[in-house]
Amino acid sequence: MVIENTRFAVFGAGGVGGYFGAVLARTGYSVTFIARGAHVEAMRRDGLHISSPQGDFVVNPAQVRDNPADVGVVDAVILGVKAWQVLDAAKTIRPLLAPGTKVLPLQNGVEAADQLQQVLGRQHALIGLCRIISSITSPGHICHAGGVPTVMLGEPDGLPLSVNARKLTDALMAAGVVTMTPQDIQAALWEKLVAIAAFSGAGAVTRATIGEVRQCPRSRQMLQQLMEEAVAVARARGIKLGDDVVARTIAFIEGLPAGGTASMQRDIVNGKPSELEEIIGAVVRFGDQTGVATPVMDFVYASLLPQERRARKSVLLSH
């Protein structure tokens, strides 16, 4: 059942934000997408097209803006930008915020919620993560390629969900998204980092699909070593991960489509700025801070960093 007079905004309507905003809009919720460039123009003209194993559909007309000031305040914002864009995005979305508005970050990595709190204050930030393989295939078109669409969220410090956080949770559930509110959201966040650091790191350094990585004994071993290093760093930081976290993560990755690739990997292959620093670099940095050795993660980071710097320099020059 749709909760009347509930308004959501999606800031960054890419593969992740665009997909979750689209299923909310299909369910009947008021959703405004905030994006830019050719993607915005295509959505305005032809709607937002979703292709998915769960069924293709089109949100048309789609409510689309390129300026948050034109939207007004909403109950909750789904933040779908890349992890390296969170600080700038937080400054931009202020016009969307009423006193009780919640912002749900769905970035890879473990630092987005802290960054939101720094800019917007503790009262607006949720801690969140998602599981989905989804990307823009062309302007106005998003392909959900695999994975059961899942969102986990929680309030900072494990507090009970606020009214607007509950509205967003209920809306996502009504839209068919597997939605969870773990008792320990920090552990859930780090468990995802264990998976995405291994998936992204192994895929990016080998330029291989996850199926190819799994089938090659040496690259499969690297995949597991990346997981084990991330787990060791998490525990050194006081994160309570279960003893079976590596086994469960391997099982999760075994279930991914063989042709799957991570968004960080795709950005690197395409010469774009990526989330290398927020995924791989973060584990290396936290390992250095806690005295935990991360030799395989260090190798992946060092191997990919020169290209990352080249991509970022190219972006700066283009502006």
Higher-confidence residue of 317 and 29: namely 29
DSSP 260-293: ---HHHHHHHTT---SHIIIIIHHHHHHHHHT--
- The CATH code that applies to domain 187-318 is 1.10.1040.10
Chain mean position to CA 91: 19
Q: What's the start-to-end Cα distance of the chain, in Å?
A: 45
Query: Per-residue pLDDT for 141 more than 90?
Result: yes
CA 28/CA 4 separation, integer angstroms: 9
The half-sphere exposure of 100 on its side-chain side, counting CA atoms within 13 A, is 11
CA 122/CA 283 separation, integer angstroms: 25
Average pLDDT over residues 53-65: 96
Tens digit of each residue's pLDDT (9 = 90 or more) over 85-116: 999 999 999 999 999 999 999 999 999 999 99
Residue with structure tokens 């202020």?
94
- The torsion angles phi and psi of 97, rounded to 5 degrees, stand at -100, 125
Residue 318: predicted pLDDT: 46
CA 285/CA 65 separation, integer angstroms: 37
Bridge partners of 103, per DSSP, are 77, 125
For domain 7-183, the CATH architecture is 3-Layer(aba) Sandwich (3.40)
Tens digit of each residue's pLDDT (9 = 90 or more) over 177-231: 999 999 999 999 999 999 999 999 999 999 999 999 999 999 999 999 999 999 9
CA 49/CA 73 separation, integer angstroms: 26
The CB density around residue 232, as the number of other CB atoms within 10 Å, is 17
Percentage above 90 pLDDT, the chain: 89
Chain mean position to CA 259: 20
Average pLDDT over residues 38-45: 94
Residue 1 pLDDT level (bands cut at 50, 70, 90)? low
One-letter amino acid at 34 equals: I
Edge-to-edge strands of the sheet including 7-11?
A: 63-65, 30-34, 7-11, 74-79, 97-105
CA 253/CA 112 separation, integer angstroms: 24
Query: Per-residue pLDDT for 3 more than 90?
Result: no
Q: Helices H, strands E: what count in the chain?
A: 13, 10
Tens digit of each residue's pLDDT (9 = 90 or more) over 109-137: 999 999 999 999 999 999 999 999 899 99
Domain map (residue ranges) of the chain: 7-183, 187-318
Average model confidence (pLDDT) across the chain:
94
pTM: 0.92
CA 120/CA 292 separation, integer angstroms: 32
One-letter amino acid at 17 equals: G
Say if CB 37 and CB 62 are below 8 A apart. no
SS (H, E, C) 181-196: CCCCHHHHHHHHHHHH
Query: Per-residue pLDDT for 315 more than 70?
Result: no
CA 49/CA 142 separation, integer angstroms: 6
